[in-house]
């Protein structure tokens, strides 16, 4: 599957790329929200976006990215998995409210991460009944 990984931490972004590529996914990466949104506009459209939540000077970049993805009906089929080192219930709920399909804490359990990514991507790809 095509996946966009967004993380402002170089090491975290590289780790995501390696994990996703080792699982057979095609990966494009960005270190910021603006770059992530540019990648969203490219073809092929991604099946999923994996984003760190606490990016940028205000530490709210991931939330903004998720909200922008969810505000565009063209991206309804794109699954979003949020990653964070913060484990407060408030931050996890904020990610879900922004539109994340799943929110996992860092450090990630690779097997769990890949399973969740597959599950939420499959669920988003299913047409909804009208």
Residue 119 in any domain: the answer is yes
The total of structural domains in the chain comes to 1
**pTM value surpassing 0.85:** yes
Is residue 8 classed as helix, strand or coil in its secondary structure? Answer: coil
Higher model confidence: residue 125 or residue 10? Answer: 10
CB of 5 within 8 A of CB of 36?
Answer: no
Alpha helices in 55-88 (DSSP H): 61-71
Range of the domain at 66: 2-125
Residue 81 in any domain: the answer is yes
Q: CA-based angle 48:8:26, to the nearest 5?
A: 35
CATH number for the domain harbouring residue 102: 3.40.50.2300
Mean pLDDT for the stretch of residues 1-28: 97
Residue 26 in any domain: the answer is yes
- Residue 127 confidence class, pLDDT cut points 50, 70, 90: low
pLDDT at 53: 93
- pLDDT for 95-120, tens place per residue? 999 999 999 988 999 999 999 999 99
pLDDT at 129: 54
Question: Phi then psi for 120, rounded to 5 degrees?
Answer: -70, -30
Residue 130 in any domain: the answer is no
Residue 36 in any domain: the answer is yes
């Amino acid at each position: 599957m095509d996946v966009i990984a967004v993380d402002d931490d170089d090491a975290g972004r590289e780790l995501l790329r390696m994990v996703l590529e080792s699982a057979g996914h095609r990966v494009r990466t960005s270190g910021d929200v603006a770059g992530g949104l540019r990648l969203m506009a490219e073809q092929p459209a991604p099946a999923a976006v994996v984003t760190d939540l606490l990016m940028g000077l205000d530490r709210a970049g991931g939330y903004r990215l998720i909200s922008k993805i969810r505000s565009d009906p063209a991206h309804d089929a794109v699954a979003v998995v949020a990653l964070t080192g913060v484990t407060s219930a408030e931050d996890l709920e904020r990610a879900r409210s922004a539109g994340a399909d799943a929110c996992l804490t860092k450090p990630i359990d690779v097997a769990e991460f890949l399973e969740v990514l597959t599950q939420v991507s499959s669920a988003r790809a299913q047409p909804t009944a009208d």
